[in-house]
């Protein structure tokens, strides 16, 4: 069973287009994980880290958002916003193209 999985995985890297897509996806994931550890300069991250460690069973929305951000909010990282700014900017641009078609 493990041999067939290993063969399938090695066959994926024999196809050039599939190999480039897999490597690109792994690179983007590595960059996103790196962004969850780079702290925002000028902010006191210790206070926020203490809040997350001291919230006993609760924490509410911030703990849930920290989960979806991959723990970046707890570390005051630059990746704490996740993909939300991109989605908001895309929606705004789409609405502006209807108003200003030029």
**What would the pLDDT profile of 46-95 be if each residue is shown by its tens digit?**
887 787 777 766 667 877 887 777 778 887 887 777 677 778 888 888 88
Residue range(s) defining the domain that contains residue 87: 2-99
Checking if the pLDDT of 24 tops 90, the result is yes
H helical segments located in the chain? 2-12, 16-35, 45-54, 61-68, 84-99
What's the structural domain count of the chain? Answer: 1
Rounded (10°) CA dihedral 69, 70, 71, 76: -50
Checking if the pLDDT of 96 tops 80, the result is yes
Q: pTM here? A: 0.59
Q: pLDDT-derived band of residue 27, with 50, 70 and 90 as boundaries?
A: very high
Here the tokens at position 87 are 């989605």
């Amino acid at each position: 069973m493990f041999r067939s999985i290993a063969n399938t995985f090695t066959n994926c890297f024999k196809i050039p287009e599939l190999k480039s897509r897999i490597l690109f996806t792994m690179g983007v994931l590595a960059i996103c994980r790196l962004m969850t550890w780079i702290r925002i300069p000028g902010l006191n991250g210790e206070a926020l880290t203490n809040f997350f460690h001291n919230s006993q069973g609760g924490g509410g929305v911030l703990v849930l958002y920290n989960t979806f951000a991959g723990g970046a909010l707890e570390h005051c990282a630059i990746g704490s916003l996740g993909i939300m700014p991109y989605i908001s900017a895309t929606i705004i641009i789409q609405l502006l193209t209807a108003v200003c078609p030029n």
